[in-house]
Structure 1
Amino acid sequence: MKNYFRRFARFNQWANERLYAAVSALDATAFQAPRSGFFPSICRTLNHLYVGDRIWLARFEGCDIPHRRLDEIPHPLFQHLWAARQVEDARICRVMDDAAESWFAGTLHYTSVTNGQAVSMPVESVLAHFFNHQTHHRGQVHAMLSSTEVAPPDLDFAAFMVKVGEAG
C-alpha cells in the first residue's frame, strides 16, 4: 500500500503544479470572483483544499489541528496560497515516504472538526478519501477555469503516469 499512496502523493503534487500554473494567469479579481461551486470561487475552493489537507496531515502526524472550519481562507492572495500549497504538497510526499508500511494497514482515530464526533477508520480508507477529495475539488477549479480566458490544464492520472514514465 505504501508505494500506491506514495504515487498518489506525487500525482497530487504534479496536478497542483499544473492547476496553480493555470490559475496564476488570472488577476486577483478573477481569482476571487464568485463562480458556481460548493466553495463558490477559485480562491475559496483552493483554500478549502489547503485547509483540509492540513487537518488530515495533522491527524496523520499526531499534531494539533491547525484549523477549526473547512471554509477558512487563510490565504486570500494567490501568491501566498501557492507558496503554502507547495509546502503542504512536499509535506504530503514526506508523510507518505516516511510512514512505516504497517501504518497503512492500521486504523486512524480522530475527532471530526465539523461535529466533534470521535471517528475510527482504516488508514487506507482515510488515504483514499484524502486523495480523492483533492481530485474532486481540483476538478471543480478546473471547471471554474472553463469560464475564464485561461485554458484548464490536463490533470488526468494517466497523463501523470505517462509523464513520470510509469505507464508501461
Structure 2
Amino acid sequence: MNPKAHFARLARYSAWANAWLLDAVAAVPDADYRRDLGLFFGSLHGTLNHLLVGEHHVWFPRFSEGASPRLALDAELEPDRARLDARLREGAARWAPLIATWDARRFEGSLDYTTTQGQPVSLPFAATLTHVFNHGTHHRGQITAALTALGRPCPELDLVLFLLNPTESSVP
C-alpha cells in the first residue's frame, strides 16, 4: 500500500463526508441544532465545534507545523453556525494538499508533540494520522445518529459509497 495515496484518499473522503453531513445539518432548525442531544459534546453545534478544535486547531498544526496548541477540546471556537460550517469545510480541504507535500518516508516516522494537558508524546506518524480521520468518522456517526433521532434525513457516508462513485465523490 502506498501510504501517501492512502492518506490522500482518506483526506478526500473526510472532506466529502463532512460536506454531505454539513448540508444535512444546515436544514436542522436552530433550536434542535443547539439542543443537548446527549452527544459527548452535547449538541450538534458542540460536536461540530469539537471537530473544528480537534481536527483543525489541534491536530492540523501538529502535523503541519510541529506546533502543540493547548486548547480545551470542548471550546466553542465558532458560535455562528454558518461560519462554523464554512470553517469546517475549509479545514477539511487543507488536509489533502498537506499530505501531498510529505515524502513517503514521513509515514514511517513518528509525530512528536505535547498534549493539550502539556505532556510530551511520541507516536507513530501514520497511526496517529489514521486517528485524525477515524476521529472525524466517529463524530460524524454521532451526528448522523442524532439526525435520525430528530427524524431528520441524513446522508449515507460510508467510505465504500465514496469509493464506488468517484464521479460523485467530489465535495458538494
Structure 1 consecutive aligned stretches of length 4 or more whose deviation exceeds 6 Å: none
Equivalent of 1:103, from 101, 106, 110?
106
Mapping for residues 61-72 of structure 1, pairs under 5 Å: 61-62=64-65, 64-66=67-69, 68-72=71-75
Q: Give the share of equivalent positions with the same residue, in percent.
A: 37
Local SS of the residue matching 1:84: helix
Query: Counterparts in 2 of 1:98-137, with a 5 A limit?
Result: 98-113=101-116, 115-137=117-139
What amino acid sits opposite 1:35 in the alignment? L
Q: How does 1:1-168 map to 2 (within 5 A)?
A: 1-54=3-56, 55-62=58-65, 64-66=67-69, 68-113=71-116, 115-164=117-166
TM-score (norm 1): 0.92
Q: Is the 8 A contact 2:46 2:76 kept in 1?
A: yes
CA contact (8 A) 2:11 2:95 kept: yes
Distance 2:154 2:38 in 1: 16
**TM-score normalised by length of structure 2:** 0.90
Deviation at 1:76, TM superposition (A): 2.1
Gaps of 5+ in 1: none
CA positional deviation for 1:77: 2.1
1:164 to partner: Cα distance: 1.1
C-alpha RMSD over aligned residues? 1.4
8 Å CA contact 1:6, 1:93 repeated in 2: yes
Q: How many residues align?
A: 164
